[in-house]
Chain A
Amino acid sequence: MTGTETLKATGNPGPAENPVFSVRDLWKVFGPRADRIPGGEHAALPPAELRAATGCTAAVRDVSFDVRKGEVFVVMGLSGSGKSTLVRCLTRLIEPTSGTIAIDGEDVLAMDRSRLRELRRHRAAMVFQHFGLLPHRTVLDNVAYGLEIQGLSKSERRSKAAELVAKVGLDGLEDRRPSQLSGGQQQRVGLARALAVDPSVLLFDEPFSALDPLIRREMQDEVVRLHREEGRTMVFITHDLSEALRLGTRIALMRDGGIVQLGTPEEIVGSPADDYVREFVRDVPREQVLTVATAMRPALAGESERGPAVRPEATVAEAIEAVSRSGDPAARVMDGGRLVGVVDHACLLDVVAGTTGPGHATASASGAPGTHTGPDAPDGAREVTF
């Protein structure tokens, strides 16, 4: 969150450092004469009125965002908010109605069939909610399937697949059929299949929604581990807020096809853009999401010497623990040896009680998305609203 990008409230993010996906003004409308809706007279209607007026449903409406290299970009929303349609538009599994999509600067919508196949084969692989495994193939052959499609020889793809089977922790199950595996194991196969083609982006479409809570947690850890080890860019669709907060570098919150707010988990929880988002994040334990950088205040004279030191990106929960263990009234927020602020009891309690409001965290690098609309607004500020 260095604030290097300049974002405009109009929804046109400036040039980020080589975004993997760059999506602008994207629309997907289902229904008769769908292409007339974007930019037309009905474009601004709420969903029910749009349907009544035209018979169309706008699954994705006027969405713009960038997916940066190496981040986990989470798209979150309730069912029917258009998130699954959105991720399918990225590789044109669903053809968008209008707008532009670029991958590594290359226009996806202008690709011909072979170019598009190339994109799907090598650059973006997807993991599905219902796994989409081939029931007549063994685990190993399912994992190798993407490579088979690319035309790799049997020995090559088998050895590569065996590697990935081990990587996702399915050793010994290579010869099983998908029907003989548990849901979590099946999704590991799906994950291995996507990883086998070594894509530059991994797309996840609610991959863990069909799993038990415990298995889901385990799979989330797996994704965190993979991301830490490989630093692969990921686009992650979910309807589960805790999952989004756990995994997301940035989160785009969708409602009725549009993005309501885009920002870091901290920004979403700390500064909801509107009542909808506020309601959404109401039950989130704020101290576990917000960092001390948000909660701190400038240091007063004499405060630079005492108290435990915490990093700016530490969560408030961690700071509370540090403060209470030390017995000091406040903790010092140290960014590489430099004092950037302090968090005292009042700051920390404000976070827990939810009384931190916009403008309260004055020293914070992230302001209040949705209220700052100037050219220097921090990243994620209202890229798209409707």
Chain B
Amino acid sequence: MATAQATPARPARAGARRGPLAALRDRPAAAKLLLLALVAAVVVPLVHGRWGGGVWPDALTADLSAPLGEVTDWIVSNRDSHPLFLYFFGHISNAVVLSVRGVYLLLLALGWAGVTVFAAAVAWRAAGIRLALTAGVSFLLCGLLGMWVPTMQTLALMVVAVLASVVLGLLLGLAAGLFDRVFRVLRPVLDTMQVLPAFAYLLPVVLVFGIGVPGAVLATVVYAAPPMARLTALGLRGADGGVMEAVTSLGATGRQRLLSARLPLARKELLLGLNQTIMMALSMAVIASVIGAGGLGDRVYQALSSVDVGAALAAGIPIVLLAVVLDRTTEAAGRRIGAEPTGPALLRGWRGWSLAALVTAAVTAVGRAADGQVWPDDLTVAIAGPVNTAKDWMVDHLYTGVPVVGGTADLAAHFTSGVLNPLRSGLTGLPWWSVLLIVAALAWTIGTWRTAATAVLAMAAIGVLGVWEPSMDTLSQVLAAVAVTLVIGFGVAVGAARSARLERLLRPVLDVFQTMPQFVYLIPVVALFGVGRAPAAAAAVIYALPAVIRITTQGLRSVDPAAMEGARSLGATPGQQLRQVQIPLARPSLLLAVNQAVVLVLAVVIIGGLVGSGALGYEVVLGLAQGDLATGLVAGAAIVCLGLMLDRVTQPTTRRQRQES
């Protein structure tokens, strides 16, 4: 097994006398499948005879609800008395509450004018005048929409969570960046954490901290710290060896090497980590409204549960604005690093910053004097009403009976009955062992036996947990949404790779779409398709599309121009160039796009539980809503397993890539 894998495919020279074994060695995928088929031929009859086909056999499940229920009961009853909670979690929880409240009060004390000017000033110093304008206008819009207070609540939670994530991420990243052993242990953990849906993190946190701000902040930190840790470690490890040697040759101590060379050399990665951490924190802070985060996410959540699209949009727009401002500012700050300082010399360095602080203080003082701390009520624009009117019009005119195409609701119904239902019944109808076999075959053909083993184990764990059927339901939605995403995504990407104009048009759209938190995508699909499984799948498609289009376009475009030129010089048609040169050479990018599509789609399909997609996401929501944490925890574990399985199945062989590079 191992030898068949270790030897890469070699074109056999002496083709005349090749036995079947040699032929297999040249096609490792075939060899793997053959081996798997042999194993299956032996094992399946035994297994089938013992436990039968169909869904996962009851005999093989472990009912965890009783022990989990006991654990949750114990935690709930001991939360106020056990020393572990009193002296550890209790302190954490109090510290979080205090700091969030402190930041919130500070933001309120600054007043809307103070906060707006402060945001603009920071954006100006860090990223330039254009982003300062963007920031200022965005904050004013939040106020105009009547969302000032929830925006400040979300912001306060974000500030605390991002600070904690950055500190935690930096510490972990430093350890992993400086010590090989830590890196080897931490890297797979961080990589895995990045593919898990946000929903999976909610339950364990709620278990310990209960519903409320502390749990929300903690969940956000756990979700947002990994990119910081990962990029810090990679940045520190990627320091230019020549520079480090020169620094050593000058007699620098270990500390001097770290502070004056290694850390500054990793500044780009550190800022990229900060950017990703902020974006993930925002995404999670919004989702954490389900466990009591309050703020903008809560407004969207409440509005969605009563299908009040107008109110959801009024709270959703500030989320998008926050996302855009935070992303662009940190990104521009990262791009500025290492560039020559611009602007008048008077404003460089500390002078500019003190000017910014001065202006903020002045505006705050004026605002307080004018009693302008709270956004004036008469200055708001209520968009909920008009939006809902528009939505009602859509319901009347677009949902059904549109000539030719039908209507959005009809479309959704067709998609549900024509694609999702057959897929779901197909998946649940498959014998459970055949699902495992398919997973093994896919993962092993694309990856290594390790990824295959992880995937199969994760899938089996789902069965053991006793949530086979809801998991198959979720899986069917994921598969359908991924298929749609890939068809649209690859189609658009092929076009964008060929036409520079299309790519230029697409770029800003993709940029905005990629910054928006997952939660926001639920608003337009609910407006268009109502609630159910089809809208959740649609939201997942919209969420995953930008990444797929971008990765695929880049992959197709970065194909070696010499190879393309060669093909053209031989008179290949555009179609032939695409099929015979671009796609084969861009294969790693295409596989990565598939992997990303699966991971992103899963994240949103799970959140779709909030808009009636049922399955695992709904069980988590239900567990939270009814205080039945055991059910929620099992569903959460199944989500983790499903995420792990889907990621591993689509993960190309990293070992082979490393050898090639």
Contact = CB atoms under 8 A, between A and B. Distances in A.
Interface in A167-215: 177, 179-180, 190, 193, 197, 203
Contacts of A93: 245, 248-249
Nearest to A123: B251
B19 interface: no
Contacts of B338: 135-136, 177, 179
Interface stretch (B192-200, B259-267, B513-521): B259-267
A125 B247 CA distance: 10
A120 B246 CA distance: 10
Centre residue among A121, A131, A132, A179 by max chain B CB count within 10 A? A132
Interface string A116-134: 1111111001101111111
A104 interface: no
From B245, B253, B267, B337, residue with most partner A Cβ within 10 Å: B245
Nearest to A94: B245
A126 B260 contact: no
B264 A197 contact: no
Contacts of B261: 134
A348 B252 CA distance: 54
A180 B340 CA distance: 9
Contacts of A52: none
Contact of B242 (A131, A150, A193, A197): A131
Interface in B259-294: 260-261, 264-265, 267
A353 interface: no
A130 B267 contact: no
A270 interface: no
A91 interface: yes
Given A128-B246, A132-B242, A136-B265, A120 B251 contact: yes
B243 interface: yes
Nearest to A175: B340
B302 interface: no
B250 A149 contact: yes
B256 interface: yes
A73 interface: no
Contact of B249 (A126, A133, A134, A177): A126
Nearest to B254: A113
A272 interface: no
Contacts of B337: 136
Given A145-B260, A148-B260, A180-B340, A133 B243 contact: yes
Contacts of A131: 242, 246
B256 to A, nearest CB: 6
Contacts of B245: 93, 128, 132
A131 B264 CA distance: 17
Contacts of A307: none
Contacts of A180: 340
A146 interface: yes
B251 A117 contact: yes
A177 B250 contact: no
Contacts of A134: 243, 247, 260-261, 264-265
Contact of A132 (B243, B251, B253, B260): B243
Contact of B251 (A118, A190, A203): A118
B582 to A, nearest CB: 34
Interface string A316-354: 000000000000000000000000000000000000000
Give the 7 A-B residue pairs with the shortest CB-CB distance, closest first.
A132-B246, A121-B251, A120-B251, A126-B249, A117-B251, A146-B250, A130-B242
7 contacts: A93-B248, A132-B243, A134-B243, A145-B247, A148-B260, A177-B338, A190-B246
